[in-house]
Amino acid sequence: MFDLGSRPDASGHFGEYGGKYVSETLMAALDDLNKAWQKLRKDPEFLNEFDNDLNFYVGRPSPLYHAKRLSEKIGGAQILLKREDLNHTGAHKINNTVGQALLARYLGKNRVIAETGAGQHGVASATVAARLGMQCVVYMGEVDIHRQAINVYRMRLLGAQVRSVTSGSATLKDALNEAMRDWVSNVDSTYYIIGTVAGPHPYPQLVRDFNSVIGREARRQVQTQFGRLPDALVACVGGGSNAIGLFHPFVDDTEVPMYGVEAAGRGLESGQHAAPLTTGRVGVLHGNKSYLMDDDNGQILHTHSVSAGLDYPGVGPEHSWLKDSGRAEYVAIDDKEALDAFHLLTRTEGILPALESSHAVAYACKLAASMPADKLVLVNLSGRGDKDVHTVAELEGIQL
């Protein structure tokens, strides 16, 4: 069922990218995880259970929605939205956590940990932990705790412990560091649910496998509803899981261009952004080799994006490979463009997108405007915007 293509190779590399750049203490745990995953990804019983959870717990398949009023307003290609915002807990993140929770159970671990930026992955992890009766600790940067207060409370309601991370820039990258430290210290009892296609092998592969349900469904749906493949795919890229989830099943459809949208923050020239693929260079962070943002001394830079989920200086290694190979193109949308798209989609279609997803919507609108009306632009609407209502209000000077 999963695409059993050759990437990554047996050592976890996508070309030169990926790998296992971690401390020795974790190597055995990663080997165990890898062995388990290479077996389970072909195990019909496991895949069947995963499918059942996706259908009856997550609520899949998610619709492919033709945003007619938005398309009309833009006056170009037809914009199709893959509605991951309609999943249980409100984003694509649950596809991955449902899968990894099954994996944790298979490995006999009863404690799960996660890092989170926007809080969506934290909520999705706390959710599956509650469902399977597992202990759950979520690491979250202090800055993000403030801007995603609703999600913090949701996680606590679900029984998770949310631990504030104050080191470094107190955002997603620092939460990931802290989760790694927890994992090193509790490696026997604990399963680490990484929330995106980054981290050491086999995480980039297994998170992709779990999220590729997005692209498989979308490919089927667009053929059923429109009788053909789309003319472009668009998805936002933080660590890159919703984008890989959409792209992966289309990789061999070379006539379908794929666009990954990074956060240009306050503008690429300002340096205050989170666009490693657009502006960065290759380095090593969080267990893998990939594009990243660092200074000339190799220190990782603080990033900025209005959306917490894109506020990350690295990116999954498969995206670096897709970029170099030319199969995918990476572009950037700034805070203001994303906010405009947030309002536009809300007003034209009655759909409140997550600020992360708003970056994809913004680029899709630009792209669609340059294309004729008989073309199809398929956008991954990775999550809903309820969590961002406070942020948007604050930016617009409105007291709630």
Partner 1 sequence: MSQQYRLKSCFQMLAEQQRTALIPFITAGDPLADASVDIMHALVDAGADVIELGIPFSDPMADGPVIQLASERAIERGVSLHTVLQDVHNFRQNNQKTPVILMGYLNPLYRMGFAQFAQSAAAAGVDGVLIVDSPPEESVVLESLLAEAGISMIRLVAPTTTAERMRLIAAEATGFIYYVALKGITGAGSGANSDAESGQRINTMRKLTGLPVAAGFGIKDAESAADWAQLADAVVIGSALVTRLAECKSSEQACETVKSFLAPIRIAMDNVT
Ligand X SMILES: Cc1ncc(COP(=O)(O)O)c(C=O)c1O
Residue 160 or 300 having the CB closest to partner 1: 300
Burial bucket for residue 115 (CB in 10 Å: 0-12, 13-18, 19+):
buried
Is 300 a binder of partner 1 (CB under 8 A)? Answer: yes
Quickly tell me which residue has 């170099």 as its tokens. Answer: 324
| Closest to 141 (Cα-Cα) out of 261, 301, 311, 300 | 311
- Name the segment binding ligand X (CB under 6 A); options: 151-159, 186-194, 288-296, 349-357: 349-357
Is 356 a binder of ligand X (CB under 6 A)? Answer: yes
Q: Quick one: which of 36, 187, 371, 395 contacts partner 1 (CB under 8 A)? A: 187
| Closest to 323 (Cα-Cα) out of 377, 369, 262 | 262
Catalytic residue among 82, 93, 173, 289: 93
Is 214 a binder of ligand X (CB under 6 A)? Answer: no
Cβ atoms of 14 and 201 within 8 Å: the answer is no
Tell the smallest beta-carbon distance from residue 391 to ligand X (Å). Answer: 13
Q: Quick one: which of 89, 95, 120, 190 contacts ligand X (CB under 6 A)? A: 120
Cβ atoms of 288 and 201 within 8 Å: the answer is yes
Quote helix, strand, coil % in the chain, to nearest 5: 50, 20, 30
Specify the 3-state DSSP secondary structure of 15: coil
Q: Quick one: which of 185, 223, 325, 370 contacts partner 1 (CB under 8 A)? A: 185
Pairing of strands 64-66, 328-334: unpaired
Catalytic residue among 20, 62, 71, 115: 115
| Closest to 136 (Cα-Cα) out of 86, 97, 171 | 97
CA atoms of 280 and 278, how far apart (whole Å):
6
- Name the segment binding ligand X (CB under 6 A); options: 74-82, 236-244, 280-288, 331-339: 236-244
In which element (H, E) is residue 262 found?
strand 258-265
CA atoms of 56 and 51, how far apart (whole Å):
9
Residue 180 or 310 having the CB closest to partner 1: 180
Q: What are phi and psi of 314, to 5 degrees?
A: -115, -175
Chain residues 8-27 in contact with partner 1, contact rule CB under 8 A: 11, 19-27
Tell the smallest beta-carbon distance from residue 221 to ligand X (Å). Answer: 20
List CB contacts of 94: < 8 A, sequence separation 6 or more: 58, 87, 88, 124, 127, 128
Quickly tell me which residue has 């249980």 as its tokens. Answer: 88
CA atoms of 104 and 124, how far apart (whole Å):
15
Task: Report what 270 binds from partner 1, ligand X, none; CB cut-off 5-8 Å by kind.
Answer: none
Task: Report what 188 binds from partner 1, ligand X, none; CB cut-off 5-8 Å by kind.
Answer: partner 1
Residue 52 or 189 having the CB closest to partner 1: 189
Task: Report what 241 binds from partner 1, ligand X, none; CB cut-off 5-8 Å by kind.
Answer: ligand X
Residue 224 or 297 having the CB closest to partner 1: 297
Site string for partner 1, 145-184 (x = CB under 8 A): ----------------------xx----xx--x--xx--x
Is 257 a binder of partner 1 (CB under 8 A)? Answer: no
Is 89 a binder of ligand X (CB under 6 A)? Answer: no
Is 238 a binder of ligand X (CB under 6 A)? Answer: yes
Q: Quick one: which of 78, 151, 320, 382 contacts ligand X (CB under 6 A)? A: 382
Q: What are phi and psi of 300, to 5 degrees?
A: -70, 135
Catalytic residue among 71, 357, 358, 382: 382
Chain residues 48-77 in contact with partner 1, contact rule CB under 8 A: none
Is 188 a binder of partner 1 (CB under 8 A)? Answer: yes
CA atoms of 75 and 230, how far apart (whole Å):
17
Cβ atoms of 263 and 278 within 8 Å: the answer is no
> Letter for the amino acid at 332?
A
Is 173 a binder of ligand X (CB under 6 A)? Answer: no
Residue 41 or 82 having the CB closest to ligand X: 82
Pairing of strands 190-193, 111-116: parallel
Q: What are phi and psi of 87, to 5 degrees?
A: -65, 155
Per the annotation, the verdict on 115 as an active-site residue is yes
Question: Active-site positions?
Answer: 93, 115, 382
**Which residues sit at the interface with ligand X, rule CB under 6 A?**
91, 93, 117-118, 120-121, 196, 236-243, 309-310, 354, 356-357, 382-383
What residues make contact with partner 1 under the rule CB under 8 A?
A: 11, 19-29, 31, 167-168, 173-174, 177, 180-181, 184-188, 282-287, 289, 292, 294, 296-300
